Every structure is written in C-alpha cells, then in structure tokens.
C-alpha cells in the first residue's frame, strides 16, 4: 500500500477517520467498537480502508488471528493522539480569547467514586454545564496509572485518583478522604463470629484478596497480616470475590454500604481494621490556558467552600 506522494493536507474527514481509528484501538477491534461508534463493523472496516489508503500504509492486521497494530499503525496512533490533543489546545486558546465555554472537557476517574457521599465532582460538573451547554464532558473510567499518563500527555484535562505518590509535572487538588474496612460476605464462616473472637492469627489463616493497584502505607501494613490468595485490579473485582464467600478483603465503606444494608456484607473489627486513602484531582502543572478546565476547577472550589 505504498504511496508516492506524502500527505499534503489534513481535512475534517481525515480527523474523523483518525478519531475512529483511535476508538477502534482503544476498544481492541472492530466488533467491540461497534457499540461505541454506533455504526456497523462493515462501516468501520470501510472507514479503516479509507484511512489506510489516505495514509498509504497498513495500520492493523484483522482477521481470524485477531486485531493487532502494525509498526506503522502504532506510530500513526501516537501521532493522531498528539494531533487531536493539539486541536483541543487550539480550541481552548480560542475559547480563552472569546471568553466562551465551548469544547471538550476530558476527565479520567477511578471506578466506584459515584457512591461517595460528598459528590464534589458531580456538583462541579453540574455548575459547569449550567454555565454553558456548549461544553462536552467526556468521562472515562480507568486505572490511576493510565489517568496520570493521560493528563501528562494531554489526552486528559484532569483526573481523580488516590493521592498516594506525587509525580513531577502534575498538580494535586485534594478532593476526599476514602475510608476502607475489611469485609466478608454472609457466606463466609467469619460472618457470624463476634469481633472479640476475631484475632490477627485467625485472620492470617483466611484467604484474602490483594489489590494490584497502589496503596497507602497504612494499607500495606494491614495487607501484610493477611494470607493473599487472590488478586484484583480494582474495587469492583474485590467486591465480586468477597461476595463469592471464599475471600475477605478491604473495600471503601461508601461502596460496600449497598451490600451491607442488605445483610450481604459485614465489616470485620472495624475499630482496628481500617485505613484512609486521600483522593485528589490531578491536572498538568505546565498546562496552557484552558477556560473550560479553569471554570471546572473554580466550580470544585465553590463546592468545597459550600457556595
């Protein structure tokens, strides 16, 4: 698929194709991208063929062996992400000149924050939208590490993550403190045992879930007392395993409350088996002018002050 002439110009149609390409890669293939893009797999395939012809190179392998990017496809992906991020920076600069809120606000959030009693982010987004309906909010749920990378490279304007270790190049705005307790399900043998009979030695013999994400120092100390027999990449995975009745594990109290109220979960020795995790909103320290992000941060400040 060699092309003699280099790419002379980039049209709006090219940008739409690049956005489609990024979505296909993020979804891991054409089939998974159907629901996100709202078009059929055959239409996605045609658009990908158009993009490959336009660029003069093969971007991905697709077929029975699965979906995989070529070396050129990986390079184009990085270039496309940079180009679209640059367009958003241009849009933000123009917004700043006109003092109008119009464009995208891209936010990354770790999962299971919606059950927190203090809904600062939710209320701040409402204030932002009340100010201007021209703001398009794009909210993605992913891991703290991916959120940090997204904010640093400009794909995300802000992200809500546990504030455990600060990275250079990021600013941190404190949001909440999340309290986690050790839980078992009503199918577990410890469920009916009084707290006074639950010793550290007893807990050390029970199968427990160890998270694969970063933890505060106090949490690491508590996990070292447990017998790690399973792992999970997020809190929803931990909840699944606890509810199986085979494991004990730590969950944020606001997230576990829905099952605790139904008698399906119980905290074990909550007076001594608990830890706190600070949560913060991160933004890029060296970011340029972005009126939408500034207004969102102002709304967060008003929510904290109770205005």
SS3 289: coil
Strand 207-211 relative to strand 227-232: parallel, antiparallel, unpaired? parallel
Assess whether 56 and 197 both reside in one domain.
Answer: no
Does the pTM of the predicted model rise above 0.85?
A: no
Query: CATH no. for residue 262?
Result: 3.40.190.290
- Which tokens go with 255? 């997230």
- Residue (of 244, 293, 250) closest to 270 by Cα position: 250
3-state helix, strand, coil in the chain (%, to 5): 45, 20, 35
pLDDT interval class at 262 (50, 70, 90): very high
In SS3 terms, 180-203 reads as: EEEEEECCCCCCCCCHHHCCHHHH
Assess whether 147 and 286 both reside in one domain.
Answer: yes
Provide the pLDDT for residue 248: 97
Last residue of a domain, one of 21, 48, 80: 80
Query: Using one digit for the tens of pLDDT, what is the confidence trace for 49-94?
Result: 999 998 989 999 887 777 899 999 999 999 999 988 888 888 777 7
Name the residue with higher pLDDT: 169 or 130.
Answer: 169
Q: Residue 140: inside a domain, yes or no?
A: yes
Last residue of a domain, one of 31, 48, 80: 80
Last residue of a domain, one of 80, 97, 127: 80
Assess whether 266 and 228 both reside in one domain.
Answer: yes
Determine the structural domain holding residue 294 and report its residue range. 83-175+279-305
Assess whether 112 and 41 both reside in one domain.
Answer: no
pLDDT interval class at 98 (50, 70, 90): low
Query: CATH no. for residue 26?
Result: 1.10.10.10
- Mean pLDDT (the chain) is 88
Query: CATH no. for residue 146?
Result: 3.40.190.10
């Amino acid at each position: 698929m060699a092309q003699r002439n280099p790419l002379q110009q980039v049209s709006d149609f090219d940008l739409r194709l690049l956005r489609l390409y990024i979505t296909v890669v993020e979804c891991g293939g054409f089939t998974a991208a159907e629901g996100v893009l709202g078009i059929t797999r055959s239409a996605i395939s045609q658009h990908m063929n158009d993009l490959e012809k336009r660029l003069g190179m093969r971007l991905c392998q697709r077929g029975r062996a699965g979906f995989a990017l070529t070396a050129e496809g990986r390079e184009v992906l990085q270039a496309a992400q940079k180009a679209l991020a640059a367009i958003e920076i241009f849009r933000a600069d123009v917004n700043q000149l006109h003092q109008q809120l119009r464009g995208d606000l891209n936010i990354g959030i770790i999962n299971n924050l919606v059950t927190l009693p203090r809904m600062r982010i939710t209320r701040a987004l409402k204030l932002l939208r009340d100010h201007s309906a021209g703001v398009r909010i794009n909210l993605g749920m992913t891991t703290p590490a991916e959120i940090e990378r997204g904010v640093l490279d400009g794909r995300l304007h802000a992200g809500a993550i546990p504030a455990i270790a600060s990275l250079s190049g990021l600013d941190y705005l404190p949001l909440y403190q999340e309290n986690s307790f050790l839980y078992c399900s009503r199918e577990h043998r410890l469920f009916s045992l009084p707290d006074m009979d639950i010793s550290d030695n007893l807990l050390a013999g029970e199968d427990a879930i160890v998270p694969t994400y970063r933890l505060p120092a106090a949490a690491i100390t508590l996990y070292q007392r447990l017998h790690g027999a399973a792992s999970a990449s997020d809190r929803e995975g931990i909840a699944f395993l606890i509810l199986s009745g085979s494991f004990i594990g730590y969950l944020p109290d606001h997230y576990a409350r829905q099952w605790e109220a139904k008698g399906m979960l119980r905290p074990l020795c909550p007076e001594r088996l608990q830890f706190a995790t600070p949560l913060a909103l991160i933004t890029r320290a060296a970011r340029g002018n972005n009126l939408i992000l500034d207004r969102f941060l102002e709304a967060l400040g008003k929510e904290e002050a109770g205005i």
